[in-house]
Amino acid sequence: MSDTADKTDILSLMPGELKAWMEENGQKPFRAKQVYEWLHVHHAGSFDDMTNLPKALRQTLSDSFRIASLHAEEVLTSLIDGTRKYLFSLEDGHVIESVLMRYSYGLTACISSQAGCRMGCRFCASTIDGKARDLRAGEMIAQVVKMSEDAGERIGHVVIMGSGEPLDNYDNLVRFLRIMGDPDGECLSLRDITVSTCGIVPKIRSLAGEGLPVTLALSLHAPTQEKRERLMPIAKKYRLPDVLDAMKEYYERTGRRITFEYSCVEGENTSPEDAKLLADLVQGMNCHINLIPVNHVSERNYRRPDQAKIEAFRRKLEKRGISVTIRREMGRDINGACGQLRRSYISAGKAPASADADGES
């Protein structure tokens, strides 16, 4: 490992922490603001770029800190809609996936919160090798910044729907959100960020109290406890009524409409009866349901229902007055399901595998 490995990742630090460091190191506090601006407004890649700092301070900073950097090992671009899928390597050799999509309202970045995942959802490729490690806030920020630089354009929306369970990496997630939403930092509207969770109840409740008005999406995927457990082992630990209560609390405390993600899996969750149960379940909630035709994962047997069945499922929900969309498939031609590009890299021995596949402890 390089000699930078034991230095603190400065991209993950909050303004107050930088200020405290300056004071402890005999520097003027306003230097913290300058450094923060270099990092999060100008996206400086090295301390030498920070030209309004004294040379000696630049040296001290580079002796103490490193700036998290990601390396794009592969970039796949869709010929259909320009969607780009990135395989980034981290400084310790682990790899993660991120995706950049263009919608009518601008660019959306889909980022990873962990290398791998330990939640074990049956149809998801990201979890097959377990979790390698949590990502630091700086590594989450760097995904957005790298893709924005590559596109030569500002990214207006961020969804934390790549590999990993963001609420299983809570402190780093909250740090990431604070820096992303900081008008003196990355300056993205928190309303334009979506955090997607499989339903870690205590952390949903904590997030509701952080004063961060992000959209929270729950991976629901089934209308009953029994069916949900079949697709998502974590559902055994956090039961459906408790998860829904926590989501209601999130709505009440933040005023943010809730999103439910619902991966449509043939033979599992898209019958007319499922539609009825789902409508009953969310009745009266201010929510939106996003239907995701399941992406085929080569290690798994799950298949998507045909389009007519998914449409019928949607119509049934709409008849009950529920707001529903079927997720438009982006980058169909480069669309190994999330996590498959990473897996192929690990299988080829080009990146370390993970150790922790045993579900949340």
Chain positions contacting ligand SAH, by CB under 6 A: 119, 121, 123-124, 161, 165, 196-198, 219, 261, 263, 292, 294-295, 297, 337-338
CB of 41 to ligand SAH, least distance (A): 29
Toward ligand SAH, which CB reaches closer, 70 or 292?
292
Question: Which is catalytic among the residues 17, 97, 139, 268?
Answer: 97
| Residue located via tokens 């904590």 | 206
Decide if 9 contacts 66 (C-beta within 8 A).
yes
CB of 13 to ligand SAH, least distance (A): 26
Decide if 176 contacts 141 (C-beta within 8 A).
yes
Toward ligand SAH, which CB reaches closer, 35 or 109?
109
Toward ligand SAH, which CB reaches closer, 172 or 219?
219
How far apart are the C-alpha atoms of 33 and 27, rounded to whole Å?
12
Q: Is 299 assigned a catalytic role?
A: no
Toward ligand SAH, which CB reaches closer, 158 or 297?
297
CB of 326 to ligand SAH, least distance (A): 12
157-195: burial string, b at 16+ Cβ within 10 Å, e else: bbbbbbbbbbbbbbebbbbbbbbbbbeebbebebebbbb
CB of 217 to ligand SAH, least distance (A): 6
How far apart are the C-alpha atoms of 105 and 340, rounded to whole Å?
28
Q: Is 97 assigned a catalytic role?
A: yes
- Kindly report the three-state secondary structure assignment for every residue of 89-110: ECCCCCEEEEEEEEECCEEEEE
How far apart are the C-alpha atoms of 86 and 295, rounded to whole Å?
18
CA Rg value for the chain: 21
Active site members: 97, 338
